[in-house]
């Protein structure tokens, strides 16, 4: 029997740029997946997560083809074209030049040959990109988090549901077996009555050079800023001009909330799944966090943090920074034991911060992990997140993380961020999606949008 102690120790305004006409691919290359039957995909945003995770996640399938790439950075879009065409050339065993490039995502969306899009842009563009995509009749795979604000997330979910298109949020943990199994075990009472869930997330460092720099040639910085306020360019605010290391915008509150949405969108989604609150949210939220001092550099997202949320089922969901004693993951505590789940050694991209100090699934008693019986409650099974999205498009069936589920998970994260900023207990109505009797908090549900990028 394992003890708890031993466990703990152990994208807009530039013109479109057509490069080369698509090459006709022989149907024999893809077998029954003839060109007319394939899902034609455009990639919007071609940085680190797109190159390492999203494009490879779909190009491996014969019934899908990446036929367009779009980015506001001319260097990156050229390198994305080279990457995708290189992969297909290797698969075909002959030269391939079938990828069209775009600088403006709206021009890509206007292409009637595009069936679906991968959206891998910075957080502040997610909701707008997704809304425009479904209104253009495209299916969407959207990187998490769903939105920059709760208000944008609600508009996004409404637009997707009204369109009838398939949106999959990039919370790929739902397609990892250990997370599904953990949620099934909790739902089936293996740890007794669920009392508490602890979410452990990595932190972000302060720093970054705030000094203004010339905007690189071929980069539409104004469009990259989008709806957010104009502010001088510096490379640490955007992304590297050489290579694809982790970008600085992830650490700037202007463009996202930091790790509470960056990693939190994954783990808090799992918490919702385990306690059957995928279409709801907390009713009380409290939190505090360390934010960098004004003179500590450019990056200003939260560092060490502690949060607490109460749900209508009585379960308390706590958030904290991970550590050697509390490795990254989700800890469920019930009346009869505990269960811990994490990614283990998996990472979506090579330089993603992740703890590898814990196993993927552990429990206070090995009997908790025994297989469930034939009559047990079972959850949606997906073994490949991008594949699940493609299959949903092909069959018209529900995918594993649709828009509303994604919005609710992101909302839980953003509620905690608001509590961190206000440093007091907040009371939330998950039906009306408003704070109760709190004008100051309600003012933080949305942000002003800079023209002409407003929704």
The reported pLDDT for the residue numbered 15 is 31
Compute the distance between CA of residue 144 and CA of residue 265 in angstroms, rounded to an integer. Answer: 7
Which 3 state secondary structure label does DSSP give 40? strand
Is pLDDT at 275 greater than 60 in this prediction?
Answer: yes
The reported pLDDT for the residue numbered 159 is 98
**Can you tell me the mean pLDDT for 54-80?**
98
Lowest mean pLDDT among 3-12, 163-172, 396-405, 423-432: 3-12
Residues 449/227, Cβ–Cβ less than 8 Å: yes
What average pLDDT does the chain have? Answer: 91
Compute the distance between CA of residue 434 and CA of residue 150 in angstroms, rounded to an integer. Answer: 10
Which 3 state secondary structure label does DSSP give 186? helix
Q: What is the percent of the chain where pLDDT is above 90?
A: 86
The reported pLDDT for the residue numbered 37 is 83
**Can you tell me the mean pLDDT for 213-241?**
98
| Residue 337, H or E segment | strand 337-341
Is pLDDT at 432 greater than 50 in this prediction?
Answer: yes
The reported pLDDT for the residue numbered 455 is 84
Closest CA to 133 of 147, 119, 143, 153: 119
Closest CA to 99 of 33, 179, 18: 18
The reported pLDDT for the residue numbered 344 is 80
Listing DSSP states for 284-329 in one string gives EEEEEE----TTS-S--S--SEEEEEE-TTS-EEEEEE--SSS-SE
The reported pLDDT for the residue numbered 137 is 98
Is pLDDT at 29 greater than 60 in this prediction?
Answer: no
Which 3 state secondary structure label does DSSP give 25? coil
């Amino acid at each position: 029997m394992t003890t708890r102690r031993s466990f703990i120790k152990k994208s807009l305004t530039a013109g479109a740029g057509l490069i080369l006409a698509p090459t006709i691919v022989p149907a024999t290359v893809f077998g029954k997946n003839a060109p007319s039957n394939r899902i034609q995909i455009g990639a919007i945003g071609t940085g680190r997560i797109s190159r390492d995770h999203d494009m490879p996640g779909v190009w491996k399938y014969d019934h899908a083809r990446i036929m367009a790439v779009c980015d506001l950075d001319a260097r990156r879009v050229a390198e994305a074209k080279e990457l995708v065409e290189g992969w297909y050339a290797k698969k075909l065993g002959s030269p391939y030049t079938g990828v069209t490039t775009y600088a403006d995502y709206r021009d890509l969306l206007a292409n009637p040959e595009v069936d679906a899009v991968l959206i891998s842009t910075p957080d502040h563009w997610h909701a707008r990109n997704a809304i425009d995509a479904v209104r253009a009749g495209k299916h969407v795979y959207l990187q998490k988090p769903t939105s920059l604000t709760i208000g944008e997330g609600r508009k996004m979910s409404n637009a997707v549901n009204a369109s009838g298109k398939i949106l999959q949020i990039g919370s790929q943990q739902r397609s990892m077996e250990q997370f599904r199994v953990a949620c099934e075990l909790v739902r089936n009472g293996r740890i007794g009555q669920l009392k508490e869930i602890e979410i452990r997330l990595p932190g972000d460092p302060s720093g970054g050079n705030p000094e203004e720099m010339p905007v690189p040639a071929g980069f539409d910085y104004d469009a990259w800023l989008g709806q957010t306020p104009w502010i001088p360019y510096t490379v640490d605010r955007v992304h590297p001009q050489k290579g694809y290391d982790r970008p600085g915008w992830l650490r700037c509150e202007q463009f996202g909330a930091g790790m509470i949405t960056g990693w939190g969108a994954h783990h808090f989604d799992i918490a919702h799944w385990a306690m059957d609150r995928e279409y709801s949210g907390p009713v009380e939220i409290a939190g505090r966090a360390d934010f960098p001092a004004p003179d500590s550099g450019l990056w200003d997202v939260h560092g060490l943090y502690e949060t607490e949320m109460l749900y209508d089922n009585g379960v308390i969901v706590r958030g904290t920074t991970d550590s050697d004693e509390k490795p990254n993951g989700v800890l469920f505590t019930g009346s009869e034991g505990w269960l811990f789940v994490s990614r283990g050694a998996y990472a979506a991209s090579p330089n993603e911060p992740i703890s590898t100090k814990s196993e993927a699934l552990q429990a206070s008693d090995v009997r908790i992990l025994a297989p469930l019986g034939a009559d047990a409650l079972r959850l949606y099974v997906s073994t490949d997140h991008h594949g699940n999205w493609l299959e949903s498009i092909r069959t018209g069936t529900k995918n594993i993380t649709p828009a509303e589920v994604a919005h609710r998970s992101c909302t839980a994260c953003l509620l905690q961020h608001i509590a961190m900023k206000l440093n007091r207990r907040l009371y939330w109505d998950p039906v009306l999606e408003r704070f109760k009797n709190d004008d100051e908090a309600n003012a933080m549900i949305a942000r002003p949008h800079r023209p002409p990028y407003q929704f």
